[in-house]
A and B are shown apart, each in its own frame.
Chain A
Amino acid sequence: MLIEGIYLDGKTSKRNAARLEVNSNHKITAIHLTEQQKILSFEHQSYVVESRLGNTPREITFDDEQLFVCDNHEEIDKLITWQTSNSSNQYSWLYHLENNSKLIFISTITTVILLYGIVVYGIPSTAKLMAHNVPYFTSAQLFSSLDILDETVFEPSTLPAKRQQEIRTLVAPYLSNHKSLQPKLEFRSGMEANALALPNGVIVFTDDFVNLTQTDDELVAVLFHELGHLTQKHMTQRIIQDAMLTIMVIFITGDVETFDLVTGLPTLLLDLTYSREFETEADTYALTLLNKHDIPLQSFVDAMTNLENYYLKENEGKVLGTVNDFFSTHPKTSERIILVETFKE
């Protein structure tokens, strides 16, 4: 049998029209160079037939980088089936999988379902498990994280020492209920009205936020929300989830170069979705604690409404409000208030 193709010797880029000779024992015996009228013997050479891939040309590589290329898929496939010890055999099922429309349809559906499952259930629950059980992550305490924030965004608080002491006394009993988290309240300024919890147990109230609240109950409601983040180790979970998401995207796209708008945007949106879920979890925790301590749930609603009004005023005149909603790390205030309503029932 003779198979028409091209022969390249691997030493120069000269292309030679060639015929591959396969004898009656299904062994490659020689390559005929048709233009030069020469015959190269391949009796005792080992060779590898590259696996079939789409409509790309078939390649057989020999010792010393010699290469035979041809488009005759049928003959080459025959050659592969005749030899049992060849690694290409194990790849031919891949080609068949890639060319069976039914299997491709099933693969597509399966892949979409699997990816959905991984993103919605797999990654969050694995991250939760890891955050709560793996000792390194549990004891992971970014002890210097407040120092970093102090150097970058925060300024010392300008609240009167008396007011600070009042609030500390107010929250002391609740903090001592959460001893295992080693919570500690700090006051800072330099940021808009905000309250945040760092993984090492530090809860920061900004001056703007303290001035914004009208009752002590509102402060306690927000404190409970931050304690919810700490109890559920949200910061650690988010770090783990982001890492897993990144690795998943690299594996799907195969490289980082395609990490552009098309893949980057969904990754960002997923991260924000995770973030909003954490907020809802922390809200639920806060509402449970408020109930437990017989504090009216309305204080939580008031705190959220105050914050929203504050930010509406801050952002006055700026357009793209709807876009911001889409890219927000927190759920909408109206949704959070609905959560309170459903929680009451």
Chain B
Amino acid sequence: MTPSSGISAVQNSINTTKENRSIGFEFRGDGMEYFKIWIVNILLTIVTLGIYSAWAKVRNNRYFYSNLYLDSDNFRYLADPITILKGRLIAVAALIGYYIMSLFLPIVAGGLAIALLFAIPYFINQSMAFNHRMSSYKNIQFRFKGSYGQAFMVIYVWPILGILTLGILYPLALLKANEYFVRNSAYGTSKFDFNATYKDYGMIFLTAIGITIAVGLPVALIAYFVPAFSVISSLLYVAVYFAVIIYVVVSFTNVFYASLGLIEHKFEANLTMVATAKVILTNLFLTIITLGLYLPAAKVRMTKYICSCLTMHTSGSLDNFSAAEKENISALGEEFGQVFDFA
């Protein structure tokens, strides 16, 4: 029997029974195990003067993707280190060229910076496409296919409108960006959907502003009339600032997943402010007292926590997705994005 006839036999026997289940995402990585991979990555990157960084990136990503499980199947990261190295070398050369240019011929460099501004939507599209194509689940790759025009709108036009309207349209700008990135993403041939509304996003902003005013104003007033209070008040500001940030991050993550759909399948995220704050503060504290050595374990703890809050509500089997046709996208788009700090 040849492999191809074997495959057609498998396709014929696809199980099409309807089943509605709630499946949790699970991250099976371990802080100590990842620390070892991470420290070896850094050492080899230093010793090879940065060349190894491409292999390090692949090993890092493989660790996080391969340990992410949904319905007892894991995700995979597929990029080839050589592809990433090529992209990185070109991007670093361009960066050095740009630095020299900005010192030697500032006018030309200025022109290049403007040209780069117009190239950014293209690079972001390329980077998204590469990252999606290099991610797979159940041996089916993800896909991203965006258009330059739409990317330009969500990267520049909507945020600028958000600022010009003094923030009133800013939630809409964020919404448009998420819509653009999700709706142009696909798992195999199946497109993702996103159905959040302006109201969902706007409410999060309003609540955040509400908390800030409700706590900030009284504190500012007390501090104004009782100068001795000013030390405590600055601490209070830091606490409120932190709480508002946590609130915004948690709410947006939950709304994002609740709005996400893949054909008839739905998603849900149940992050809570208390648990998220606990993870962030623990990570920050341990990272500082270990002078950064806790960084890899911190990344694992955060990933574990977020994954433990994610659920997929399936409607029917997850066996029926089919792969999209092959396409080739260079790693250059992605690496340009990283070096020029806009990814």
Contacts and interface: CB of A to CB of B under 8 A. Distances in A.
Given A65-B323, A140-B104, A252-B42, A319 B234 contact: yes
B298 A239 contact: no
Contact of B10 (A33, A55, A63): A33
Contacts of B283: 262
Q: How large is the interface on A (under 10, 10 to 19, 20 to 34, 35 or more residues)?
A: 35 or more
Interface stretch (B31-39, B116-124, B198-206, B213-221): B31-39
A12 interface: yes
A111 B53 contact: no
Interface stretch (A19-27, A38-46, A174-182, A326-334): A38-46
B53 A251 contact: yes
Interface centre among A140, A142, A236, A239 (most CB of B within 10 A): A140
A319 B63 contact: no
A9 B188 CA distance: 13
Contacts of A140: 103-104
Contacts of B295: 253, 262-263
Interface in A40-92: 40-42, 45, 53-57, 59, 62-67, 69
Contacts of A53: 37, 59, 62-63, 66
A310 B100 CA distance: 38
Contacts of B92: 247
Contacts of A10: 139-140, 323
Q: What's the dominant secondary structure at chain B's contact region?
A: helix
A13 B137 contact: yes
B86 interface: no
A107 B39 contact: yes
Contact of A239 (B10, B103, B293, B338): B103
A255 interface: yes
A14 interface: yes
A97 B74 CA distance: 25
A94 to B, nearest CB: 7
B139 A65 contact: yes
A256 B338 contact: yes
A29 to B, nearest CB: 12
Given A54-B37, A57-B74, A12 B319 contact: yes
A345 to B, nearest CB: 36
Interface string B142-185: 00000000000000000000000000000000000000000000
Given A13-B320, A16-B10, A67-B139, A262 B106 contact: no
A185 interface: no
Contact of A54 (B15, B33, B287): B33
A265 B137 CA distance: 36
Q: What's the dominant secondary structure at chain A's contact region?
A: mixed
A14 B319 contact: yes
Interface stretch (B1-9, B253-261, B271-279): B1-9
Nearest to B298: A262
Contacts of A115: 42, 46
Interface centre among B29, B40, B95, B99 (most CB of A within 10 A): B40
Contacts of A139: 104
B43 A114 contact: yes
Contacts of B322: 11-13
Contacts of A121: none
A39 B213 CA distance: 68
Interface in B231-252: 231, 234
Contacts of B234: 319-320
B307 to A, nearest CB: 15
B318 to A, nearest CB: 6
Contacts of B63: 53-54, 56
B50 interface: yes
Q: How large is the interface on B (under 10, 10 to 19, 20 to 34, 35 or more residues)?
A: 35 or more
B86 to A, nearest CB: 16
A9 B29 contact: no
Contacts of A143: 106
Contacts of A252: 42, 45
A107 B43 contact: yes
Interface string B23-59: 0000011100110110111110110001001001101
B270 interface: no
A258 B139 contact: no
Interface in A198-255: 236, 239, 243, 246-247, 250-255
A56 B74 contact: yes
Interface in A90-147: 94, 97-99, 104, 107-108, 110-112, 114-115, 118, 136-137, 139-140, 142-144
A13 B138 contact: yes
Given A33-B10, A66-B3, A257-B343, A14 B15 contact: yes
Interface string B92-132: 10010001100110100000000000000000000000000
A250 B1 contact: no
A64 B231 CA distance: 66
Contacts of A112: 293
B20 interface: no
Given A56-B67, A67-B139, A262-B287, A11 B62 contact: no
Interface of B: 1-3, 6-7, 9-11, 13-15, 28-30, 33-34, 36-37, 39-43, 45-46, 50, 53, 56-57, 59-63, 66-67, 73-74, 76, 92, 95, 99-100, 103-104, 106, 137-140, 188, 230-231, 234, 283-284, 287, 292-293, 295, 298-299, 318-323, 337-339, 341, 343
14 contacts: A9-B139, A11-B7, A13-B137, A13-B320, A13-B321, A14-B10, A14-B138, A15-B319, A94-B59, A107-B40, A108-B293, A111-B39, A239-B99, A250-B339
Given A14-B11, A254-B41, 18 more contacts: A12-B11, A14-B320, A16-B10, A38-B9, A39-B6, A40-B6, A53-B37, A55-B33, A63-B3, A94-B59, A107-B43, A115-B42, A137-B100, A243-B95, A250-B339, A252-B42, A262-B287, A319-B234
